[in-house]
Structure 1
Amino acid sequence: MMKRHLWLAVALASVCQFTAVSARAEEIKVGMLGQFSGSASWWGTEYRRGVNLWLEQHKSKVGDDTLVVLERDEGGVNPQRTRQLAQELVVRDQVQYLFGGSFTPNVLAMADVATQTKTPLVIGNSGTSSVTLKSPYFVRTGFTQWTVSVPLVEYAASKGVKNAAIVVADYAPGYDAIDAYSETFKKAGGKIAVEVKVPLGTTDFSSYLQRVRDAKPDALFLFMPVGPMSAGFVKAFKERELDKTGIQLFATTETMESDLPAIGDSALGTITALHYSPFLTTPENTAFVKAYKAKYGPGALPSIASVSAYDSMTVIAQMIKATKGKRDGDKAIAAVKGFAWMSARGPVSIDPKTREIVQNVYIRRVENIDGKLGNKPIETFKSVVEPWHVSHPQVAAK
C-alpha cells in the first residue's frame, strides 16, 4: 500500500510538472484501453471502429486542438496489467483523457490512477452500477445491467409473466442482474422460481437448463457476457425445447448482431432490452449506420460498443472545449455533468449527480430483417435514469 501511494504521488507530481511546462499542448492525447486480443477482442475492434469513425468525421480536431489516440490492449480480465497501462499512459505518454474498459475488474483497477492524477476516464463498458462511485473522475457512456434489466422485467410483467427463473454468469455484473431482476419482479408482484449461477467459460448448459425446466417458470431472465456463452445458452435453450414447455426467454445483450450468425434461427422471437439497436429508424441512427457501413463494409453493423466509443469521443470533446485544451480534470468533469446530445442511440445526457448516462432502453425482438437476423425495436422506455443509484440512494451516497 505504501508503494502504491508513493508511486501515485510521483505520478501526480509528474503530471503537474508537465502541465506547468506546457499548459497548451500542440496535440491532446487520449489513452484507449480495450480488449484487442483474445476471446473478447470484439470489444476492442468495436471500440477502435467507433473512435476512428468519430476522428474521421471530425478530422481529428476539437477546435484548434488535434486529438491523438494511443491504443493499449488490456489482455483479458487483468486488473494489474490494466492499472499499469493506465499509469504509463498518464505519466509516461502524458495523455489527458482515458477511455475504455471492457470488464468491471479492469475498470476498478484504474480508479486510483484516475483519482490521484485527476485524469477523466470515460467508461465504455462495465455493467456494475457501483463502479462510478470509485472515482470522481469516472464517467460512464455504456450502460449498467440495472439500466436494461429493470425495463425488461417491467415489460415482461406487463405481458402477464408471474413466475420466473433467473440465470446469470457467475461474476459481478451477473450479481447485479440477479438483484435487478429479482427486486423489480417482486415489486411487480412476481415470484422467483429459481436463481442459477453459471461459471464463466461454461459451454455445456444442460444441467442448468434442467434446473430451470424443473422449476416450471413462465419465463427465464438471462444474463451472459457477449460472445460464446450468450450464443451457446440461447441455442441450448431452444435445442432442449424449453420454449415448448411454455417458458419464454427474456435477455439483454445475448442476441447481439455479432452473435446471431452463431445462434441461427434459435434466436427468432427472443425478447431483449438494450439501449441500442442498429435497426433504430431515427435520422441520427440511419446516418450513423450509413457512415459505419461506408467505412467498414456494406455487411458491417454498429453495436453497443462502437456507439459507446463514438459517444465517448463526443464527451471527451466537450471536456476539451470546456478546458480550452488545458489539463484540468476537475473542470473537465464539471463540464459534462448535465451535458446532453443526440446520439445514434437516441437522446442522451450525463446525470450530474452520478456521472451515469441517461438514455432510452428499447424492447427488441429478434426477427428476420431483409434476409438477416436482427433485433427490431418494438417498444421504448424513454430517458432511463440509472436505476440502482435511484433505488439505493443510501448506498450510493456512501
Structure 2
Amino acid sequence: MIIRRTILAAGLAVAALAGTTALASAQEVVKVGIVLPMTGAFQSNGRQMQAAIRTYVAVHGDMAGGRKIELIIRDDASTAEQALRVSQELVTKDKAAILAGFGNTPAALSAAKISARGKIPQIIMVAATASIVDASPYVLRTSWTTPQMAAVIGQWAPEEGDAKTFISIVSDYGPGNDADAAFTKSLEAHGGQVIDHLKVPLANPDFAPFLQHVVEKKPDALFVFVPTGAGAAFMKQFVERGLDKSGIRVVAMADVTDDDILNSMGDPALGVISGGPYSASHDSPQNAAFVAAFEKENNGMRPNMVAVSAWDAIDLIYKTLDKTGGDASGEAFVAAAKGAELDSPRGPVSIDPDTRDIVQNIYMREVKRVEGELYNVEFRTYEAVKDPTH
C-alpha cells in the first residue's frame, strides 16, 4: 500500500510538473521591439503608427501563436543613428525577438544590419525605398515602395489623364529619387514626357524657387513627391504663386494629400490627383470597421496610409506566429510570412514569396469634399501591383 501511494504521488507530481511546463510555455512572452519616429522630422509618421498599434491590440488582444505578445516602443528621433542604437538595445537588453516600425529609409537600413547579423525578423511599416528588402534576408515590408506608386501614376497620367508634359518635383533623398526615376520611366513608356527634374532639399524645404521655374516652363502638370506632412506646405506655396489658376495640374504621390493633414489643406487641395495604396474613404466593410476602431481609440483621429501599414504589420506578426506556433526565430518566421495574405482595410495584400515585399492594389484618387470634409476619393484601381524594380 505504501509503495502504491508513493507511485501515485510521484505520478501526480510529474503530471503537475508537465502542466506547469505547458502553462509556462503558453505564457512565454514574444517581445516585439517597435522603433518609431516619435520626435523629429518624421514624428507625424510615429504618431499614426503608435495609434494604429494601440488600436490593433485593443481589437485583437495580446496573444498570438499561444504566446503573449509584448510590444516595446522606442523613439528613434527620426535619425538613423538613434534607430541603430535603440534597435541594438531592444535586441540585446530587452530580448526582442522581432523588430518593427521604421518611419524612414535611413532608420530602416541602419537596423537592417542588426536584422541580418542576428537573424532577427524586421517588419517595415513605412520606409519606402525599394532596396530596403535587399539589406537583410529577414526584412519584410507591409507599407509600399515608392516605385510601386510612382510607376502606376506614370501609366495613368498619359493614358487616362489629359497631361502629357510634366515637371517632376521631389524631395532630394532616397525615396524621392526612386519616385522620380520610376515615374519618368513609366510615363515615357506610355507616351508622356518629363521636361525637367527638380530636387527639393529635404530639411526645411522652400518650394518657391522651384515653382517659379514651373511658371516659366509651363508644363501640363507637375508630378510631386514630398514626405508625409510636407504636402500642406507645398500646396500653400502652389496657391500663393497663383498656379492653382494657371491650368497646371498636380498629380502626386499619396504622401502629398495625406489623410492626416488633408482637411487642414483646405480648398487648394480640391481636385488634386494622387496615387496610393489607401484612403480613409476606401469603401469596404474591413475599412469601415478599422476607421471606426481607430477613431474610437485615438480621440477621433483619422487614419492614413501609415496607420493602415502599421496595423497590417502587427496583423502579419500575429498571423505568422499563429502559423509557427509561437516560433519567432528568423528562419521559421520569415519562411511562414512569405506568401502571407492579409484581408487589410486597404484591400487584399500579400507578401511576395520571392522578394519579401508587399503586393497590393494602387488606387488613383481625387481630392473631393464629402459631407463637409476632404477625402481622397478612389476612382481607378490597379490590382495586385508589385514593386517594379525587383
Using a 3 Å threshold, how does the CA distance of structure 1 residues 48 and 39 change in structure 2: closer, same or farther? same
Deviation string for 1:77-105 (max 9, x for gaps)? x2222111111111111111111101111
CA distance in 1: counterparts of 2:141 and 2:191, whole angstroms: 32
Secondary structure at the residue paired with 1:388? coil
State the match for 2:206 in structure 1. Answer: 204
Aligned to 2:154: 153
CA separation of 1:350/1:290 partners in 2, compared to 1, >3 Å: closer, same or farther?
same
Amino acid at match of 2:198: V
Kindly state the Cα deviation for residue 205 of structure 1 after the two structures are TM-superposed: 1.8
Q: Which residue of 1 aligns with 2:44?
A: 42
Unmatched runs of 5 consecutive residues or more in structure 1: 1-21, 390-398
Match of 1:169 in 2: 171
Shift of 1:23: 8.2
Residue in 2 that maps onto 1:295: 297
User: Could you tell me which residue of structure 1 aligns to residue 3 of structure 2?
Assistant: none
**What pairs with 1:117-196 in structure 2 (closer than 5 Å)?**
117-158=118-159, 159-196=161-198
Q: 1:237 offset after TM fit, Å?
A: 1.3
Corresponding residue number in structure 2 for 1:13: none
CA contact (8 A) 1:25 1:325 kept: no
Select 2:219's aligned residue among 190, 194, 217: 217
Per-residue CA distance 1:130-155 (angstroms, 9 max, x = gap): 11011000001011111111111211
More deviation, 355-364/251-260: 251-260
Tell me the residue number matched to 1:322: 323
State how 1:255-266 maps to structure 2 within 5 Å.
255-266=257-268
Structure 1 distance, partners of 2:139, 2:303, is 25
Match of 2:77 in 1: 75
Contact 1:29–1:96 (8 Å) recurs in 2: yes
Matched, 1:33 2:27: no
CA deviations 1:344-391 (Å, max 9, x no partner) are: 0000100001111110111111111111111111111111111121xx
Aligned counterparts of 1:209 and 1:219: Cα–Cα separation in 2: 12
CA distance in 2, matches of 1:113, 1:356: 19
User: What does 1:243-282 correspond to in 2, within 5 Å?
Assistant: 243-252=244-253, 253-282=255-284
Q: What TM-score do you get using the length of structure 1 for normalisation?
A: 0.88
Higher radius of gyration, 1 or 2: 2
Q: Which whole-Å CA distance do the structure 2 matches of 1:347 and 1:204 have between them?
A: 38
Give the number of aligned pairs: 365
Cα distance in 2 between the residues matched to 1:122 and 1:372: 33
- 1:396: which partner in 2? none
Q: Which whole-Å CA distance do the structure 1 matches of 2:81 and 2:206 have between them?
A: 31
CA contact (8 A) 2:30 2:97 kept: yes
* Structure-2 separation of matches of 1:202 and 1:291: 35
Give yes or no for the alignment of 1:305 onto 2:306.
yes
Query: Counterparts of 1:205 and 1:72 in 2: how far apart (Å)?
Result: 33
- Note the C-alpha offset of 1:63: 4.1
Deviation string 1:139-194 (CA, Å, 9 cap, x unpaired) is 01011111111111211111232111100011111100110111111111212111
Distance change (3 Å), C-alpha of 1:24 and 1:89: farther
Contact 2:26–2:67 (CA under 8 A) maintained in structure 1: no
Query: Matched residues in 1 for 2:110 and 2:65: separation?
Result: 33
Relative to the length of structure 2, the TM-score reads 0.90
Cα distance in 2 for partners of 1:269, 1:41 equals 28
Structure 1 residue ranges (4+ consecutive) displaced by more than 3 angstroms after TM superposition: 22-25
Identity of aligned residues (%): 35
- Structure 2 Cα separation of the partners of residues 122 and 276 of structure 1: 19
The residue identity in structure 1 corresponding to 2:110 is A
Which amino acid counterpart does residue 385 of structure 2 have in structure 1? V
1:203 shift after superposition = 4.5
Q: Distance in 2 between matches of 1:203 and 1:54?
A: 35
Q: What amino acid is the match of 2:197?
A: E
**In the alignment, which residue of structure 1 is the partner of 2:19?**
none
SS in 1 for 2:140: strand
Secondary structure, counterpart of 1:200 in structure 2: coil
Q: How far apart, in 2, do the equivalents of 1:203 and 1:31 lie?
A: 32
Distance 1:204 1:84, change over 3 A: closer
CA distance in 1, matches of 2:63, 2:279: 28
Deviation at 1:110, TM superposition (A): 1.0
Query: Conserved in 2, the CA contact under 8 Å of 1:23 and 1:326?
Result: no
Give the Cα–Cα distance (whole angstroms) in 1 for the partners of residues 205 and 106 of structure 2.
Answer: 23
Check 1:46–1:194 CA distance in 2 against 1; reply closer, same or farther (3 A cut). Answer: same
Mapped to 2, the partners of 1:330 and 1:136 lie a distance apart of 9
8 A Cα contact 1:33 1:71, kept in partner: yes
Structure 1 counterpart SS, 2:274: strand
What do the CA deviations read for 1:59-92 (whole angstroms, capped 9, x no partner)? 211142111110100012x222211111111111
Measure the CA separation in 2 of the matches of 1:98 and 1:46: 18
- Match of residue 15 from structure 1: none
SS at match of 2:266: helix
In the alignment, which of 29, 50, 53 is matched to residue 51 of structure 1? 53
Unaligned runs of 5+ residues in structure 2 are 1-23
Bigger drift between 288-297 and 336-345 goes to 288-297
* Distance in 2, Cα, partners of 1:71 & 1:120: 16
Instruction: Indicate conservation of the 8 Å contact 1:25/1:326, yes or no.
Output: no
Contact 1:55 1:61 in 2 (8 A): no
1: CA distance, partners of 2:26 / 2:306:
31
The structural deviation recorded for 1:120 is 0.2
User: CA 1:60/1:336 → structure 2, altered by over 3 Å: closer, same or farther?
Assistant: same
